[in-house]
Amino acid sequence: MKIKVLLYTRFERFWHWFQAFLIIFLLVTGFEVHGTVKIFGYGAACYWHNLAGMTLLILTAFAIFWHLTTGAWKHYQPCSDNLKEIGAYYCVGIMRGESHPFHKSQERKLNPLQALSYFVLKMVLLPLQLVSGLLYYLYNDWLSWGLTMRLDGVAMLHTAMAFVMLLFLLVHVYLATTGSTLISYMMSMITGWEELDEEG
């Protein structure tokens, strides 16, 4: 039996969608800075890219504070429970119409594979992206800080992380369509409510 549960708070939904907008906007303006697309013009793309990057940095700081003070960080704790079964489900089982081996709850919103993925994203990939972007932005101050890194190395790391973020975004959008309907997961991230299996 299914029951409707308020799974995502207002802040989680705001953070999710604002972060998604900023990451997509950063990808678009970043690709324009590299000459891949032409939308705003080089100068404007640089300006908007830097502004969006600083905004993402501020949003991330608020999100860290919120996760730590509410205990929501626990949802991102990686664990190995049913990891193999969940991986098999996404590789093969989903194509066969099998049921998901993990059932969400208010205590555990993310399955172990999601938790591991988000943990790597938020503890490794996003910090590398933000720090490399900040270093690139503050390049003129390196000498006074005693930094002797190569600028092209920092730029390459920042660009590589952008492609990793793009890959993550594409996989994330695809997986968002694998609910009971094509838009059920998206709607739950808009309204906060999701249908879950009743426990017990």
Take residue 72 and report the two structure tokens written for it: 């929501």
Which pLDDT does position 199 carry in this prediction? 62
The answer to whether the CB of 19 falls within 8 A of the CB of 165 is no
Which pLDDT does position 97 carry in this prediction? 86
Rounded CA separation 194/196 (Å): 6
Which pLDDT does position 157 carry in this prediction? 95
**CA 160 to chain CA mean position, Å:** 16
Rounded CA separation 126/161 (Å): 8
Report the CATH number that the domain containing residue 160 is assigned in CATH.
1.20.950.20
Rounded CA separation 87/17 (Å): 26
For the chain, the domain total comes to 1
Per-residue pLDDT for 20 more than 70? yes
pLDDT mean over 86-98: 89
The 10s digit of each residue's pLDDT in 119-174 is 999 999 999 999 999 999 999 999 999 988 899 999 999 999 999 999 999 999 99
Which pLDDT does position 200 carry in this prediction? 47
102 vs 21 pLDDT, higher one: 21
Give the percent of the chain with pLDDT over 70. Answer: 99
The residue segments making up the domain with residue 158 are: 2-197
Per-residue pLDDT for 71 more than 90? yes
Helix axes 42-70, 10-33, angle to 10 degrees: 150
Give the percent of the chain with pLDDT over 90. Answer: 74
